[in-house]
Structure 1
Amino acid sequence: MKNNKKNKINPKYVLAALSLLCIAGIGLSLFRGFSIPAAGTIVNSLMAPMQEGINSFGNFTAGIVQRKHKTTQLQNENEELNNEVDKLQAKLTAMENNLSDYEDLLDLLALSEKYPSYDMTGARIIGKDAGNWYDTFTINKGSIDGIKKDMNVVAGNGLVGIVTQVNANSAVVRSIIDDASNVSGMISKNRDICIVNGDLTLMDSGLLDVELITKGSTVVKGDEVVTSYISDKYLPGLLIGYISDVTENDTELTLSAKLTPTVDFQHLSNVLVIKQLKEDMKETGSASETVASDTQSTSETQSDTADSTDSSEEGE
């Protein structure tokens, strides 16, 4: 134990010796031009591969960070573009809807001019039964707007249906294609009476059933059918549609037919409600005068259309 303590060198002496050697080396290099390998050169030689690796790793890491930043930036830009596309699509849809509403309103205006004897108010459809057809639907006008049960509803070029239920701010309309609907009709050209029925079996083909036509009637395909003046609830002279097929029943004294309605019952959005009731017209005795006036107006319109068509054909 004692021998080990005697042989051990004090660290202070080692440090002092190394310091003297360093000072001597510096002195020689300054005053005599004596050069020794710089410690930095040795260190640099040893550290160069490690530093190159560190630099490569740094560049690789920086590249990942830069790519991630670029990806995030592109994702943000893509999201902004998608939002802008959605906004533009919404604006386009709104414009298309407004254009469709505008065209509907023009049609309703033309329809109101076609029946000048009737006071009408516009209404928007806000609900309907399930399915593609508007056989029963709800409008946004009710009793506070003067709507009453049994008021007639029109759109496009003619009769849509009748109001069956009225609430304060809405009303329910049953259209003439509903299988519970039947309308007293009349062949315009000869005033032969008939009954126009809704029929679920014919709905998919867009047709209505016509029955009880007098067997001696001259009805043919293309004849116009309007509401008759003997109907209990429907106002006279409203266009229902056109005969598309006539069937003669051997065992009956009447004819039957199919009718193509003038209204597109798959694409309704706005309608007109006629504010007169048939029972009010019965009291004033104006029903027959109205149907004669409106039928004549319709005939004159068709005649003018035919004349203009003939003129254009002659011009060609």
Structure 2
Amino acid sequence: MNLETAQSRDAKRLAMFVIVLAMLATLRVALSLVPVPLSVLPFASVLTTAFFVFVPIVALFRVAGNHWTAKSAAWLLAGGVAAHVGFYLIARFVLMDRGLGAAVSHAFAQTGLLIWCLGLGGLLATLIKEKNMMLPVAIFLAAFDIFLVLTPQGPTRQIMEQAPQVFESVAYNVPQVQVEATHAPVAAMAYIGPADFLFLGMFFIALYRYQMRVKPTFYWMVPTLIAYLLTVVVFGHLRIGGVSLAALPALVPIGGCVMLVNLREFDLSKDEKLSTALVALLAIGFIVWSVTR
């Protein structure tokens, strides 16, 4: 494939990514205008959750196959942050979260969020210089997310408990279906932290770059994350062993899928195996220390 053809392919994929996000934004606004009969509310809620998780993952998966450079990723990061922050501030402080205009602004803010997550994920992927680096990275991220979300000292947990509006302003939200038309921003049924999407993008990009098992990873990732979020939505009121199911660390299944599906692709030297095991032991020890201190 020559350079011109590759650039044309990349441009089409990026354009399709933006179009898909625009469709999601349109659907968000439509949910504030179109009421759902009470009789089908549970089914509609499950369907909406699955759709708003499935579509962004597919979009990230498709565009991850592009040729990524630090420059192209940085442009997306900057543009996405500008859109996310700008439209959020307009909706929140200019339109005061009222009316259809605020619903549209919040929808565009969510679009900006996914764009900058892709950009930052692409930027981080350029730092992965060889495929064996992904194994310790996946282990560390999964463990660190457990610390952030589940341990009492975790910053994410503290923010969610003490200042939930801060987390909500930077998180991707799954909209809640309405039994009455609100003509205003719809409530969120669940939230997904931006780190989940940016690291998902990073892993997809790295898997493409090193020609690993991208499609099988995608096929496992989609149902796993949908089931994970449905657990939060349906069983969020429950606690198991002191752990609330209302907030679960999504980088655990993300890292798990990447590691397990691509395990045979990693060719670690003796030193790399030792260092990876050390990372895992340190991560486990850090979590145990955080919980028991």
* TM-score normalised by L of structure 1: 0.22
Higher helix share: 2
Higher strand share: 1
Q: Which has the higher contact order (CA 8 A, sep 6+)?
A: 2
* TM-score normalised by L of structure 2: 0.23
